[in-house]
Amino acid sequence: MNDMVTIPRAEYDCLRAAAEDLADLQTYDRARAALAAGDDELIPAASVNRLLDGESALRVFRDLRGMTQAALADKAGVSRVTVAEIETGRKQGSVATLRALAGALEVALDDLAT
């Protein structure tokens, strides 16, 4: 099975570009399907910039959800002080606490563990 085909470099480059375009389209289609199914969400650029600037992911997602610290704490079953301490970096929060907060915010635990 050593079949070989020789083609001009320009044709090879076109085939590679077409393969990359197809892979990009497939990735795009998967992302659109995940959005349509509710498995993923779009995050506004302002929120992404806050995360990139090092702001607390908990605070950014809480603001994105339009929740107060007290409302988030109540929904997650933790104290408001715990939420404030995690947001300010005074405490990291246990895995169980972060899991509860992530669930209340409807985000993945990984989204809060930055």
CATH number at residue 60: 1.10.260.40
* Number of domain units in the chain: 2
Kindly state whether residues 57 and 98 are assigned to the same domain. yes
Kindly state whether residues 4 and 26 are assigned to the same domain. yes
Kindly state whether residues 49 and 101 are assigned to the same domain. yes
Nearest C-alpha neighbor of 93 from the set 42, 51, 47, 57: 57
Please give the model's pTM, rounded to 2 decimal places: 0.73
Separation of alpha carbons 84 and 73, rounded Å: 9
Kindly state whether residues 14 and 28 are assigned to the same domain. yes
**Is the per-residue pLDDT at 64 higher than 80?**
yes
Q: What confidence tier does 113 reach under pLDDT thresholds 50, 70, 90?
A: confident
Kindly state whether residues 33 and 57 are assigned to the same domain. no
The predicted structure's pLDDT at residue 31: 93
Domain region containing 105 = 45-112
Q: What confidence tier does 114 reach under pLDDT thresholds 50, 70, 90?
A: low
Give residue-wise pLDDT tens across range 69-106: 999 999 999 999 999 999 999 999 999 999 999 999 99
Kindly state whether residues 49 and 85 are assigned to the same domain. yes
Kindly state whether residues 33 and 50 are assigned to the same domain. no
